[in-house]
Amino acid sequence: MCLPPPPQKVDAIIRSGLSRFSDEVGRLWCRLADFYIRSGQFERARDVFEEAVASVTTVCVYCIRATTHVSGTLG
């Protein structure tokens, strides 16, 4: 049976990508929040979304984050 990776490792890997892949920042933030949502850690997912919005650098990145956040909460 394959066990999921520990949350700390997933968090660290994705966060390291935030500085390395500037063209994928929006997607990485969303994937990190999605990981916590799928793990049932909804408070942590919300914290990730809030951190993402606080670190917005472009409108395009914000739109990706906002769209994913809204679609995730509505459906």
Rounded Cα distance between 61 and 17, Å, is 15
Rounded Cα distance between 25 and 31, Å, is 10
Q: Domain spans of the chain?
A: 8-74
pLDDT 10s digits, 28-40: 988 999 999 999 9
pLDDT at 19: 87
Question: Which one is predicted more confidently, 36 or 2?
Answer: 36
pTM: 0.70
Distance of CA 4 to the CA centre of its chain: 17
In this structure, the chain runs to a length of 75
